Amino acid sequence: MTLNIETPALLFSATSLILLAYTNRFLTIAQIVRGLKKAYDQEKGIHILIQIKNLNLRLTLIRNMQLFGVLSLFLSVFAMLLLFFSQQIFGVFLFGASLLSLLISLALSFWEISISVTALRVHLSDMIEEKKK
**% of the chain residues with pLDDT over 90:** 69
Q: CA 128, CA 78: separation in Å to the nearest integer?
A: 52
Residue 26, domain member (yes or no): yes
Residue 18, domain member (yes or no): yes
Q: What is the DSSP letter of 75?
A: H
Range of the domain at 69: 6-132
Q: CA 6, CA 10: separation in Å to the nearest integer?
A: 7
Domain count, the chain: 1
Which of the four pLDDT bands, split at 50, 70 and 90, describes residue 78?
A: very high
Dump pLDDT digits (tens) for 20-44. Answer: 999 999 999 999 999 999 999 998 8
Residue 1, domain member (yes or no): no
